[in-house]
Amino acid sequence: MKTVLVTLPVNDTHKAILEKAGAGCAISYLDPKELTKELVASADVIIGPVDPALICASEKLGLLQLFSAGADPYIVPGVLSDKTWLANATGAYGKAVSEHALALTLMMLKKLHLYRDEQRQNAWRDRGTVRSLTDCCVVVVGLGNIGLSYARLVKALGAKKVIGVKRRAGDCPEGVDELCLTSEIERVLPEADVLVSFLPGNRETFHYYTAERFALMKRDALFVNCGRGAAVAKEVLLDVLQNGVIGCAACDVTELEPLPGDSPLWQLENLMITPHVAGYLHLPEILVRIVDIAAENLARFLSGEEPLTLVDRKTGYKR
Amino acid sequence: MKTVLVTLPVNDTHKAILEKAGAGCAISYLDPKELTKELVASADVIIGPVDPALICASEKLGLLQLFSAGADPYIVPGVLSDKTWLANATGAYGKAVSEHALALTLMMLKKLHLYRDEQRQNAWRDRGTVRSLTDCCVVVVGLGNIGLSYARLVKALGAKKVIGVKRRAGDCPEGVDELCLTSEIERVLPEADVLVSFLPGNRETFHYYTAERFALMKRDALFVNCGRGAAVAKEVLLDVLQNGVIGCAACDVTELEPLPGDSPLWQLENLMITPHVAGYLHLPEILVRIVDIAAENLARFLSGEEPLTLVDRKTGYKR
């Protein structure tokens, strides 16, 4: 009998879905904080968050089903045995993260972050002209489930042009007007009014947004980061915002998380920060989708098939 | 020769459009602050803002072309002669105001106003679950150019249901799922997750959103006001937000404007205030549209035709 540990905050409906997929397994539900090295070592399958330090490359672990799209802490050598299939939750976050990114985009275009600051000083003060998405070229970096969903939202609102930036060449998807390779982003940066990043965290994307790249942008361009914070060095972000290299930025992720209390980024007027909350389990349907993905992958594991959302350990992306 | 005074901040392109429409007229461009009773008394046509107190029911004034959609200060008895055609700029603000209202809506749904407050305290603090427009019934009150434009935006983003509320029965326009009369709003209030007001200021809409009406709503409902502030009494707004009758609100307009510095509304956590900036001339294309409307109405006036956007002095709406 296979041992399955579930560390997601599931309800009875979710449990029924998992128990149907894992019929015949011993399924336990725990808080991630209750996990120990011994418990982890006993598991054939873990579904949900687990501290990487507890895994110790356990050879028994056949499937680790993450609840996130990003797999960065688990692809570090030594964390997982070669025998473990690592599956992510790609597809669960498209709606939540793309909507959060859209809300941040409109907030910046309409200067709502500045108006909130004025409000806190009881000040009825006009901050001047704003911008419409219909006048904006939006460059979306990372065209997975989340990026594509965002592209379609801004297109539906009438964005003037949407350029998608991805690793590999391919057909231009619906909602995107033009494609560009991540290795050639210099070509489209001068055109961007809004640059939105959904890049995951890995070696390729580390410090991808360099000072040189920001310098190619319009002085009033807006940068939104809802991918991973390490895509831009904290010093570079501070510099481009303090020195007007770009107009403003909104970041749900930062290079260090939580962002330290003494970071000078906090008090920048032209930076909006949210504490990595775009996804997580902040929309109820995210958990529903994760449970569906996990149930499918558990069933496949039990019949010896690879999970649908198997992560390539070299890249951190779905294979 | 007819005398035309233009008090809009026009550029050369705008002037060329007005001068083509008003060929043969003596057209002067002034700052509204330069206007005097004498100048106003000499005018056949005024295009742009003018202090109502300067007009003194001048019988010479044939056309007053406002730069706003709202005409409230000019329909007060005694301001205009019966001989003056009053035209508004209906149609110029659809995009700007609807986008501002959408930005405020998403800001509330994603709690970005709370995250801005946390940021100002250098605090990386998770504020819990958020909502998606796709789970929301959106009730749009006022289905003119602006309200209809907003309805289409939220529909394009996948809003679960859009109910339009208007004065008169009619066909259900594209982007709206269901219609309701303003006199019967009680019927749809219990269903609203988001209630958005674009009501103009007039006798009918004065204090339209009563405590009784808010009490019919869901405890977590969101209210957005981008119409006129007098549609809700300041005490009612304060009470429903302080006592959790509804969840939160975002107002671009307030009953008194500017909102007095000592108003308790400023420091409510669950109220977002912007200082009547959704429209004005904050998107460059607003002025282009106003100039187009003014040119058309000027040409019609010179050939003895009613303006396209003639205001009914009884209601304050376009006739």
For residue A132, the chain B residues in CB contact (below 8 A) are 95-96, 99, 283, 285
pLDDT for res A319: 79
- B168 within a domain of the structure (yes/no): yes
Which chain B residue's Cα is nearest to A120? B267
Q: Express each pLDDT in B133-144 by its tens digit.
A: 999 999 999 999
Q: Can you give the pTM of this predicted structure?
A: 0.93
Instruction: Find the CB nearest B103 among A112, A126, A281.
Output: A112
Q: Express each pLDDT in B50-103 by its tens digit.
A: 999 999 999 999 999 999 888 889 999 999 999 999 999 998 999 999 999 999
pLDDT for res B190: 98
Q: Tokens at residue B236, please?
A: 């009612």
Please say whether the dihedral angle defined by the alpha carbons of residues B236, B240, B246 and B248, taken in this order, is positive or negative: positive
Average pLDDT of the residues of chain B? 96
Tell me if A277 sits within 8 A of A252, measured CB to CB.
yes
For residue B209, how many C-alpha atoms fall within 13 Å in the half-sphere facing its CB? 34
For residue B280, the chain A residues in CB contact (below 8 A) are 126
Element holding B54 (H helix, E strand): none
- B318 within a domain of the structure (yes/no): no
pLDDT for res B284: 86
- A213 within a domain of the structure (yes/no): yes
A148 lies in the same domain as A255: yes
For residue A17, the one-letter residue type is I
A interface test, pick of B119, B234, B262 with most A CB neighbours within 10 Å: B119
B100 lies in the same domain as B182: yes
Which chain B residue's Cα is nearest to A113? B116
- B311 within a domain of the structure (yes/no): no
Per DSSP, B77 falls in state T
**How far, in Å, CA of A128 to CA of B196, rounded?**
24
List the beta strands (DSSP E) in chain B: 3-6, 26-29, 45-47, 63-65, 85-87, 137-141, 161-166, 178-181, 194-197, 222-225, 248-251, 271-273
How many contacts, defined by CB atoms under 8 Å, are there between A and B? 144
**How far, in Å, CA of B120 to CA of A267, rounded?**
6
- A319 within a domain of the structure (yes/no): no
Predicted confidence pLDDT, tens digits, chain B (319 residues): 999 999 999 999 999 999 999 999 999 999 999 999 999 999 999 999 999 999 999 999 999 999 988 888 999 999 999 999 999 999 899 999 999 999 999 999 999 999 999 999 999 999 999 999 999 999 999 999 999 999 999 999 999 999 999 999 999 999 999 999 999 999 999 999 999 999 998 889 999 999 999 999 999 999 999 999 999 999 999 999 999 999 999 999 999 999 999 999 999 999 999 999 999 889 988 999 999 999 999 999 999 999 999 999 888 888 7
Instruction: Find the CB nearest A119 among B126, B156, B273.
Output: B273
User: Looking at CA atoms only, how far is residue A274 from chain B in angstroms?
Assistant: 6
Q: 3-class SS at B286?
A: helix
Rounded to an integer, what is the distance from CA A226 to the centroid of its chain? Answer: 6
The parent domain of residue B22 ranges over: 3-92+282-302
For residue B249, how many C-alpha atoms fall within 13 Å in the half-sphere facing its CB? 31
For residue B284, the chain A residues in CB contact (below 8 A) are 129
B145 lies in the same domain as B246: yes
A80 lies in the same domain as A183: no
A213 lies in the same domain as A293: no
- B319 within a domain of the structure (yes/no): no
For residue A282, the chain B residues in CB contact (below 8 A) are 128-130
- B268 within a domain of the structure (yes/no): yes
B115 lies in the same domain as B228: yes
Q: Do B272 and A104 touch (CB under 8 A)?
A: no
Tell me if A32 sits within 8 A of A50, measured CB to CB.
yes
B interface test, pick of A98, A99, A118 with most B CB neighbours within 10 Å: A99
B256 lies in the same domain as B127: yes
pLDDT for res B15: 97
For residue B133, the chain A residues in CB contact (below 8 A) are 99
Residue A119: closest CA among B101, B261, B127, B98:
B261
User: Looking at CA atoms only, how far is residue B53 from chain A in angstroms?
Assistant: 25
Tell me if B231 sits within 8 A of B257, measured CB to CB.
no
pLDDT for res A125: 98
- How many separate domains does chain B show? 2
Please say whether the dihedral angle defined by the alpha carbons of residues A76, A80, A84 and A85, taken in this order, is positive or negative: negative
A11: Cβ contacts below 8 Å, ≥ 6 apart: none
pLDDT for res A284: 87
**How far, in Å, CA of A141 to CA of A205, rounded?**
11
pLDDT for res A202: 86
A58 lies in the same domain as A41: yes
pLDDT for res B316: 81
**How far, in Å, CA of B179 to CA of B219, rounded?**
23
Q: Please report, for the domain that includes residue A267, its CATH number.
A: 3.40.50.720
Whole-angstrom CA distances from A257 to A5, A237, A275, B132, B194 are 27, 15, 8, 25, 33
Which chain B residue's Cα is nearest to A106? B103
A135 lies in the same domain as A47: no
Instruction: Find the CB nearest B103 among A110, A127, A156.
Output: A110
Q: Do B122 and A262 touch (CB under 8 A)?
A: yes
Whole-angstrom CA distances from B8 to A59, A163, B47, B196 are 76, 37, 7, 30
A128 lies in the same domain as A77: no
Per DSSP, B263 falls in state -
B137 lies in the same domain as B147: yes
Q: Do B153 and A153 touch (CB under 8 A)?
A: no
- B313 within a domain of the structure (yes/no): no
Q: Do A275 and B115 touch (CB under 8 A)?
A: yes
Instruction: Find the CB nearest B126 among A104, A259, A277.
Output: A277
HEC secondary structure over chain A: CCEEEECCCCCHHHHHHHHHHCCCCEEEECCHHHCCHHHHHCCCEEECCCCHHHCCCCCCCCEEECCCCCCHHHCCCCCCCCCCEEECCCCCCHHHHHHHHHHHHHHHHCCHHHHHHHHHCCCCCCCCCCCCHHHCEEEEECCCHHHHHHHHHHHHCCCCEEEEEECCCCCCCCCCCEEEEHHHHHHCHHHCCEEEECCCCCCCCCCCCCHHHHHCCCCCCEEEECCCHHHCCHHHHHHHHHCCCCCEEEECCCCCCCCCCCCCCCCCCCEEECCCCCCCCCCHHHHHHHHHHHHHHHHHHHCCCCCCCEECCCCCCEC
Instruction: Find the CB nearest A283 among B122, B130, B257.
Output: B130
B153 lies in the same domain as B190: yes
Ranges under pLDDT 50 in chain A: none
